[in-house]
Amino acid sequence: MNELSAAPSSADTRTRFDVLRRWWRRGIQSGLDHEAVLVRVDADSGFTSRYAFMVLMSAGIAILGLLQSSPAVVIGAMLVSPLMGPIIGLGFALATFDWEKARSSLAAVAIGSLMAIAFSALVVLLSPLKDLTTELLARTRPNLFDLLVATFSALAGAYATVRGRGETIVGVAIATALMPPLATVGFGLATGNGVVFFGALGLFLTNLIAITLSASAMARLYGFGAHLSPDQTRTQTRWLVGVFILLAIPLAISLRQIAWEAWATQNARTAIAREFGPQVRITTLEPDFRGESPAFRAVVVTDSYDAQADARVRQSLEETLGRPVDVSISQLAVSREASQAERERVATGGTAMAMLRSQLAITAGVAPEDVLLDQSARRARIQVSGTLPLLAWRELEQRIDDSHPGWDVQLVPPVQALPDIRFEAGSDELTPQSGAEVDQLGWALARWGVSYATVTGHAASNEPDAPDLARRRAEAVAARLVQSAVEADVRADPPGPAQRAREAELGLAAFRSVSVAPASG
Question: Cα separation of 342 and 10, whole Å?
Answer: 85
As annotated, the residues of the chain forming the CATH 3.30.1330.60 domain(s) are 338-518
Tell which residue, 447, 339, 440, 331, has the closest CA to residue 391. 440
Q: Give SS3 for 323.
A: coil
The helix (run of H) or strand (run of E) holding residue 127 is none
Phi, psi for residue 509 in degrees, rounded to 5:
-60, -30
Q: Which residue has the higher pLDDT, 234 or 325?
A: 325
pLDDT tier for residue 268 given thresholds of 50, 70 and 90: confident
Q: Is residue 472 predicted with pLDDT exceeding 90?
A: yes
Q: Are 325 and 315 in contact (CB under 8 A)?
A: no
Distances (CA, A) of 425 to 179, 455, 477, 479: 32, 19, 16, 20
User: According to the CATH classification, is domain 338-518 in 3.40.50.12160?
Assistant: no
In a 10 Å sphere around its CB, with 0-12 CB exposed, 13-18 middle and 19+ buried, how is residue 279 labelled?
exposed
Distances (CA, A) of 200 to 58, 137, 142, 193, 428: 17, 9, 8, 11, 34
As annotated, the residues of the chain forming the CATH 1.20.1080 domain(s) are 8-228
Alpha-carbon Rg for the chain, nearest whole angstrom, is 30
Tell which residue, 62, 58, 251, 89, has the closest CA to residue 154. 89
Please name the fold of domain 261-333.
Answer: Alpha-Beta Plaits (3.30.70)
In a 10 Å sphere around its CB, with 0-12 CB exposed, 13-18 middle and 19+ buried, how is residue 362 labelled?
exposed
Q: Which residue has the higher pLDDT, 357 or 463?
A: 463
For 102-117, the pLDDT digits (tens) are 888 889 989 999 999 9
Side-chain half-sphere exposure of 513, counting CA atoms within 13 A: 16
Q: Which residue has the higher pLDDT, 408 or 333?
A: 408
Q: Is residue 217 predicted with pLDDT exceeding 70?
A: yes
* Residue 386 burial (CB count, 10 A): 10
Q: Is residue 206 predicted with pLDDT exceeding 90?
A: no
State the first-to-last Cα distance of the chain, in angstroms, to the nearest integer. 88
Q: Which DSSP letter does residue 509 get?
A: G
* CATH number at 8-228: 1.20.1080
For 348-378, the pLDDT digits (tens) are 444 566 677 777 777 777 777 778 877 777 8
Q: Are 450 and 416 in contact (CB under 8 A)?
A: no
Q: Which residue has the higher pLDDT, 16 or 195?
A: 195
Tell which residue, 487, 521, 505, has the closest CA to residue 193. 505
Average pLDDT, the chain: 78
pLDDT, position 338: 47
Question: Cα separation of 387 and 383, whole Å?
Answer: 13
pLDDT, position 247: 64
Question: Cα separation of 252 and 244, whole Å?
Answer: 12
pTM above 0.75, yes or no: no
pLDDT more than 90, % of the chain: 14
For 133-159, the pLDDT digits (tens) are 778 877 777 777 777 777 787 777 777
For 417-454, the pLDDT digits (tens) are 888 999 998 999 999 899 999 999 999 988 888 888 88
As annotated, the residues of the chain forming the CATH 3.30.70.1350 domain(s) are 261-333
pLDDT, position 40: 75
pLDDT, position 290: 66
pLDDT, position 345: 46
Close Cβ partners of 433 (under 8 Å, ≥ 6 residues apart):
none
* Residue 236 burial (CB count, 10 A): 19
pLDDT, position 186: 93
